[in-house]
Amino acid sequence: MGRTAFQFGLALIVFGCAAARGSESAAVIFQKGAAALAAEDYPTAEGSFQAVLKLEPRNVGAMGNLGVVYSRSRRFSEAISIYKRALRIAPADKFIATNLGLAYVRQEQFADALPIFEKLAAAPSNLQARELLATCRLALGEYKSAVAALQPLLAAEPANPGALYLLGVALTRLKRPEEAHEAFAKMMAAVSPAQANFLMGKASYETERFIEAVDFFRKVLQADPAFDGAHRELGKALISLNDDENAEKELREAPPDDFEALYFLGGLLARTRPAEAIPILEKARTLAPDMWGPPYYLGRIYVDQGRTTEALSLLERAAKLNPDESAIQYQLGRAFQKAGREADAKAAFDRVTKIKNRSRP
């Protein structure tokens, strides 16, 4: 989770043109939904766009906006479903295609996002698609391809900090330190000092230089104690250094609605203080119902506590969201064993082996 330093915005906030072609009542309902979406009143917006679709099942604008509602509510599986539905009707709609790719990225389903951005990046003017294409390739370990994807973007925007960040990480992974240093130097010159240290911290974390990451994130907080994400990222780096006490302190300093901070804090506490971890993970699950991490950790806790029925429900949900995570299958196997379902347990453990064999070079 959190593999990119930049948060990409949804490609289009309000899809307004389609409703105008429908009935007057649908158009009125659509406008109410658009106003609610602009005001971040997502329940009202969702109800409005669903009402439009009952009247006009092929209204692509309502589908696009409903996808935005789902994405902003971290209901990415529902967003993916509605965007796919819209693209079956309007396959050339680049805005909906971009938002579908973004939903996949936020679910860390980079292999699914990759072909979408490959197609969109074929248009030379679509620089956002090229940056997202590089993000996917970097996350999938395709470092040379990531560098190649960034070259046209940097030719058009030499000081693009997001592209320079990705280039620096890719070059570091390719063991080309001098070129990576040059990319990071250009990136740091393009942003504020606090942002520069934050991005260098992210780059250090992504390339597993955790001591450097901690130093950079502490510099961020010295310059700006309220810098968004700094406590969370510092906490994550400290976890990687096994400094659990200080990691917990930093993660608790993050805003109360920071899903990622709650997830890492819950995962940290799950190891030694599961009773404290449960409400934190439940809150994280409420904030992001389509992320696999919270139900996985909750399921693991419940397996240990002998709450087998609850554990199975949570772990099956996690496995549906991320079928390629071997740790989920392992915990499922344990839960099935405790439930006396030996055949299901064996199948889960066999999946662990298959997943691990698939990931080997």
Contact between 274 and 304 (Cβ < 8 Å): yes
273 in a structural domain: no
Amino acid identity of 256? P
217 in a structural domain: no
34 in a structural domain: yes
Q: Which two tokens stand for residue 273?
A: 């203080």
Amino acid identity of 137? R
Largest CA distance in the chain: 62
What lies within 8 Å, CB to CB, of 296 at 6+ separation is: 314, 315, 318, 325, 327, 328, 331
Last residue of a domain, one of 58, 76, 108: 108
Q: Which two tokens stand for residue 105?
A: 């990225």
Give how far Cα 62 sits from Cα of 29, 74, 75, Å.
10, 18, 17
What lies within 8 Å, CB to CB, of 25 at 6+ separation is: 55
Q: 19: domain range? A: 1-108
Give how far Cα 140 sits from Cα of 99, 103, 134, 163, Å.
20, 16, 10, 17
Could you give the CA distance from residue 276 to residue 269 in angstroms, rounded to a whole number? Answer: 7
Q: Report pLDDT digits (tens) over 238-279.
A: 999 999 999 999 999 999 999 999 999 999 999 999 999 999
163 in a structural domain: no
Total domain count for the chain?
2
Last residue of a domain, one of 108, 132, 154: 108
18 in a structural domain: yes
359 in a structural domain: yes
40 in a structural domain: yes
Last residue of a domain, one of 51, 84, 108: 108
| 339 CB neighbour count, 10 Å cutoff | 15
pTM greater than 0.85 (yes/no): no
Predicted confidence pLDDT, tens digits, the chain (361 residues)? 444 444 444 544 445 544 444 446 899 999 999 999 999 999 999 999 999 999 999 999 999 999 999 999 999 999 999 999 999 999 999 999 999 999 999 988 999 999 999 999 999 889 999 999 999 999 999 999 999 999 999 999 999 999 999 999 999 999 999 999 999 999 999 999 999 999 999 999 999 999 999 999 999 999 999 999 999 999 999 999 999 999 999 999 999 999 999 999 999 999 999 999 999 999 999 999 999 999 999 999 999 999 999 999 999 999 998 888 999 999 999 999 999 999 999 999 999 999 988 766 5
CATH number for 89: 1.25.40.10
313 in a structural domain: yes
